Amino acid sequence: MKIALTQLNYCIGNFDANVEKIIQSAIKAKEEEAGLVVFSELAVSGYFPSDCLIFSDFMANCQHALDVIAEKCYDIPVLVGCPLPNEGEGKPLKNCAVFLYQGQRRVFAKQRIGNNPLCDERAYFESEKGNEMLECGGLKMAVTIGDDLANCSADPLLIENRVDNLMALHPDLILNLSASPFDYTIPRRRCDLLRQTVLKHELPLLYVNQVGANTHLIFDGGSMAFASNGHIDTALPFFEESIKIVDTDTLFNYRTADDRLVIPEKMTLIHDALVLGVRDYFQKMGFKSAVVGLSGGLDSALVTYFAVQAVGAENVRVVLMPSQFSTDHSVSDAEALALKLGVRYDTVPIKPMYDSFLDSLNPIFEGRPFDVTEENLQARIRGVILMAVSNKFGNILLNTSNKSEAAVGYGTLYGDMCGGLSVIGDVYKSEAYELARYINRFEEIIPWHTINKAPSAELRPDQKDSDSLPEYDILDGILFQYIECSKSPEEIIAMGFDAATVNRTVRMVNRNEFKRQQVAPILRVSPRAFGAERVIPIVAKM
Amino acid sequence: MKIALTQLNYCIGNFDANVEKIIQSAIKAKEEEAGLVVFSELAVSGYFPSDCLIFSDFMANCQHALDVIAEKCYDIPVLVGCPLPNEGEGKPLKNCAVFLYQGQRRVFAKQRIGNNPLCDERAYFESEKGNEMLECGGLKMAVTIGDDLANCSADPLLIENRVDNLMALHPDLILNLSASPFDYTIPRRRCDLLRQTVLKHELPLLYVNQVGANTHLIFDGGSMAFASNGHIDTALPFFEESIKIVDTDTLFNYRTADDRLVIPEKMTLIHDALVLGVRDYFQKMGFKSAVVGLSGGLDSALVTYFAVQAVGAENVRVVLMPSQFSTDHSVSDAEALALKLGVRYDTVPIKPMYDSFLDSLNPIFEGRPFDVTEENLQARIRGVILMAVSNKFGNILLNTSNKSEAAVGYGTLYGDMCGGLSVIGDVYKSEAYELARYINRFEEIIPWHTINKAPSAELRPDQKDSDSLPEYDILDGILFQYIECSKSPEEIIAMGFDAATVNRTVRMVNRNEFKRQQVAPILRVSPRAFGAERVIPIVAKM
């Protein structure tokens, strides 16, 4: 039989749009002779709805959406993810895959309910206890959802892996409806995990993931069909909607050892994820246009580039806000980028406002010397200007902080930390350089001078980032061990990093937790992003 | 025997301070002839450490702390909460009560591991399966931790209530080590829940809670000892450290029907919680002094009052920042409060900066009319001034937003929404009035004129909050149903609220989720606080 893998981009709570998309895709798949159309986890509601699930109208909308799909796709067998009430004891809902066909409705619910910090399913969903099989088109299918396929030995809630149990019913193939948040390590890990299941049971496996970004969480798609010999017969693209029809006969008798999946390199993945992340934020929020404060440095250049990729040059404007401490090349590099990308730019020197604040504050400051106050003042005046442009014209301000800065607090709260969305806040500075070189791989888009000059905040004369921070390659090495790998300072020092630098870096990270808890959502591309995970109490002594 | 209930204020990760406090309290209790000294849940580390628990040095510090306590309290039987490694399968840790006495060490671990959004214990802790009894001073004690005593029928992880199981071992009394986040409904609910357990089993129950605030979460103490007839023999105070010795003989033969517990009224609870919340934030962060922008309105008056209660008038300064739209009474009301409270005040009119921004932005704005841009500009200039004072003198800026404003987005991001801690962000405007009247119950501290005048943001001529918002008693009624009770708009309308007003209010709440995700930690005093819980995806359509 033919099965359609339907990889779509859903908006949480936008039932009309989600249902329309599901129906149109089902009709199209039927035209291509699909005998079953499979959608991703919680497709009807969008993943992950969090506390939207508490509201009775939200759940009523889910039920109504299923009714509409059942009616409009009466003659098309569809299997679609949807939250439904739990009729039994425990949490109020179940995370379901619903089979709809000619008035039949069969419900399969998720067993392995996760409580990872990105999507706290356990707060809402009861785990399914039973095991049943979907029979469709003469085949018996083991229906699994998301982590049902994951190794669950560390989970107190589950005694056995669901698929192991389902095998007792002798399925012909395994289906998995998923919604798996992206990070740059996921495509490879996911492929390996799924392949293990295939090889263990020698059954074909059809995996359908959602695509698209919901605020900070990005979903990469990458749905695929494994033949029973463990090779990938069909791979859907990353970061875009797609429907592909799989012929199950092929999966049982796969004739080549080829994998029809190419996992892109890390920088390609991050690049494409960020473009999708920005684009979906604007589209799902109903925003049209963006504004960026362009300094001539690397970070704001990258963010402007991503804004242009996501919403088009005609919808992006940038503001140059030089001060007395700005170098000539800052302005010329910024102008070069704006011209290259074709975005409108305005220049607003900050000196008049800066002088005005200093005059007004002078009676209070009583002749105290220039310090971080005046540095922050410049950054905050820029924030006010950008937000004024944003308010006046409806352009959403994009934040330009990178992960290294966010980690050590090298940014001004309510200044350069302003913005509705943090585009590269999960990208270390050393990765930002890689990303810029990736963007420039065919032609100079970001001025090479921007990439090659020493980074500086330009908030005091001749300032360099390296005046107050370790060199970025060392800093990022330490941060990666501390943030992503949760190593203690002692463990990091034992790896060969300088003890004083490690201790100083870790102190900066912990002292600046308060700043990270007041920033915009950060597009998540790493296995451990600020905001999305890594919950550290602000008052904790670390 | 005599048992000491030891209700202390711990700082997360400050092992030296926590251990010192535990040892000194144990010694003091021993002097008063206690045969057992009971501390609260995770006392050694402070509750709740979240991702601190991932770090090996943090866990090594926990082990070391136990060693020090065991040594220094060698002859004192203590029972103290501490996270420890899980030797078996599953999550890496257990949430333990450790009995230490003369070289013995017995570990009792928590069974009912919660995953409430305030403290996601399930991310770290494995549930205890076994049941054992502590024997001490000739008595058999059922040791329980936190939610072990809660009704657990809704929990998939647990089949039976732990205490029911422990009863098979015939304990003489029940101990509960707890760390229960405060809201104004908790003291009554907690008392009722514990009393149910006592009456069910006809056993005395000794309950030890922690006190103190850790960032946004406040712990109210209120530890107590129930006699076996369900009456409260001993009650420790709310919102302060305390040690009380309970004679268990009395608990078995309680002669009166009196409850020695008086639960304060809602406004007393909220008042005392906020004072403690501000005080502990400053103390645990190592901050000395505060700054508040004083407008002459109710919210900033309340926050200034709390700052003074928490850190002393000599450590609080306020800044008055009138504009051309400020009324005379705003300035005079603000001055009156500053004089009454004895805090330093400075006046910085914002007109020079406002004019300077408008001049610089004029070429971009191209003669467009006054709109929300210019309103926000005023608020943001005030934010910049306050942060400059904060940076120059080290005074921490306190945020003055209330819960009604935060709900409907009636505040300027990076303007009046600035600050390191939100003091009354979990207090609805109508509750803010109650709180002000409570503060003024003996004498006029907050000017009655501030309380009685119509609220206004004063960002355009003759502006009133009621120009853009429903009257606060109606608004707050709708918000309470939507936020605290999670009722759908239809359900709220069915309660008798005007349909258009409900729909408009709900739209405002949902449209402004992005603002709430960029604010300071909000001291939590209600059962549903922004920031701490109520997780709504920003891009969700609601």
Instruction: Note the pLDDT of residue A161.
Output: 67
Tokens 């009583």 identify what position?
A: A366
Alpha carbons A391 and B487: distance in angstroms, whole number: 32
Q: What is the mean pLDDT of chain A?
A: 94
CATH level 3 topology of B269-467: Rossmann fold (3.40.50)
Q: pLDDT tens digits, residue range B392-433?
A: 999 999 999 999 999 999 999 999 999 999 999 999 999 999
The structural domains of chain B, with segments of one domain joined by +, span 2-256, 269-467
CA distance B188 to chain A (A): 25
H or E, element range at A307: helix A298-311
For residue B242, give how far its alpha carbon lies from the nearest alpha carbon of chain A (Å). 22
The pLDDT-based confidence of A533 (bands split at 50, 70, 90) is confident
Which secondary-structure segment (H or E) carries B358?
A: helix B351-365
How many Cβ contacts (< 8 angstroms) between chains A and B? Answer: 259
- Residue A387 has its nearest CB partner, among B57, B363, B380, at B380
From B393's Cα to the closest Cα of chain A, the distance in A is 9
pLDDT at A45 over 60: yes
| Closest CA in chain B for residue A60 | B488
Chain A closest-CA separation from residue B451 CA (Å) = 29
Dihedral over Cα of A397, A403, A404, A408: its sign = positive
Which residue of chain B has the CA closest to A394?
B373
Using an 8 Å Cβ cutoff, are A57 and A24 in contact? no
Q: Which of B11, B377, B486 sits opposite A539 (nearest CB)?
A: B11
Q: Do A2-258 and A269-465+512-516 fold alike per CATH?
A: no
Q: In this complex, which of A51, A361, A392 lies closest to B365 when CB atoms are compared? A: A392
Strand locations in A232-355 (E): 232-235, 242-247, 290-293, 316-320, 344-347
| Chain B residues touching A520 at Cβ < 8 A | 514, 517-518
Separation in Å, CA B5 to CA A112, B29, B106, B144, B305:
41, 9, 19, 15, 33
Which residues of chain B register pLDDT less than 50? Answer: 152-159
Tell me the C-alpha distance between B366 and A465, whole Å: 37
User: Which amino acid is located at A402 in the chain?
Assistant: N
CA of A438 vs chain B CAs: smallest distance (Å): 30
Give Cβ neighbours of residue A443 (< 8 Å, ≥ 6 apart): none
Q: Residue B364: closest CA among chain A residues belongs to which residue?
A: A346
CA distance B364 to chain A (A): 7
Per-residue pLDDT at B161 = 67
Distance to chain A for B452, nearest Cα, Å = 32
Interatomic CA distance for residues B184 and B175, integer angstroms: 24
Nearest to A380 among B120, B359, B387 (CB): B387
Q: Provide the ipTM.
A: 0.94
CB contact under 8 A, A519 and B519: no
Residue with tokens 């980074």: A455
What is the per-residue pLDDT across A103-116, written as a single tens digit (0 to 9) for each? 999 999 999 887 77
Distances (CA, A) of B284 to A216, A407, B108: 31, 21, 30
Mean per-residue pLDDT for A233-241? 97
| % chain A with pLDDT above 90 | 84
Which of A216, A226, A332, A325 is closest to A274 using CA atoms?
A: A216
User: Residue A57 is which amino acid?
Assistant: D
Place A162 in a pLDDT band, splitting at 50, 70 and 90. Answer: confident
* Domain A2-258, classified CATH 3.60.110.10, yes or no: yes
Residue type present at position B176: N
Q: What is the pLDDT of residues A382-431, one digit of tens each?
A: 999 999 999 999 999 999 999 999 999 999 999 999 999 999 999 999 99
Contact A215 B537 (CB under 8 A): yes
The residue type of B102 is: Q
Torsion angle in degrees (nearest 10) through CA of A145, A238, A299, B516: -30
Tell me the pLDDT tens digit for each residue of A470-489.
999 999 999 999 999 999 99
pLDDT at position B157 is 46
Contact call for residues B78 and B8 (beta carbons, < 8 A): no
Token pair belonging to A463 = 């300032």
Length of chain A in terms of residues written:
542
Q: Can you tell me which residue has the tokens 């429907």?
A: A243
Q: Which chain A residues are within 8 Å of B389, Cβ to Cβ?
A: 361, 364
Question: Do the Cβ atoms of A316 and A272 come closer than 8 Å?
Answer: no
Do A539 and B285 count as a contact with CB atoms less than 8 A apart?
yes
Under an 8 A CB cutoff, do B536 and A51 touch? Answer: yes
CB contact under 8 A, A488 and B122: no
d(CA A224, CA A259): 11
- The residues, any chain, with a CB within 8 Å of residue B500's CB and separated by 6 or more, are none
Q: Which two tokens stand for residue A157?
A: 């809630």
Report the pLDDT value the prediction gives residue B160, as an integer from 0 to 100: 56
**Burial (CB count within 10 angstroms: exposed 0-12, middle 13-18, buried 19+), residue A256:** exposed
Best mutation target, B155, B359, B414, B515, to test chain A (most A CBs within 10 A): B414
Q: What is the DSSP letter of B380?
A: H
Q: What is the pLDDT of residues A252-304, one digit of tens each?
A: 988 877 788 899 999 999 999 999 999 999 999 999 999 999 999 999 999 99
Q: Do A392 and B414 touch (CB under 8 A)?
A: no
B2-256 classified as CATH 3.60.110.10: yes
Cβ-defined contact of A364 to B384 (cutoff 8 Å): no
The answer to whether the Cβ–Cβ distance between A156 and B126 falls below 8 Å is yes
- Which of the following CATH numbers is that of domain A269-465+512-516: 3.30.70.260, 3.40.50.620, 3.20.20.70, 3.40.50.1000? 3.40.50.620
Residue in chain B lying closest to A152 (CA): B90
Determine what percent of chain B is predicted with pLDDT higher than 90: 84
Q: Which residues of A touch B154 (CB under 8 A)?
A: 89-91
Using CB atoms, pick whichever of A126, A353, A488 lies closest to residue B156. A126
- pLDDT, residue A143, reads 96
Residue of chain B with shortest Cα separation from A113: B156
Cβ within 8 Å, pair A117-B120: yes
Of A11, A388, A538, the CB nearest to B373: A388
* CB nearest A55 (choices: B157, B356, B488): B488
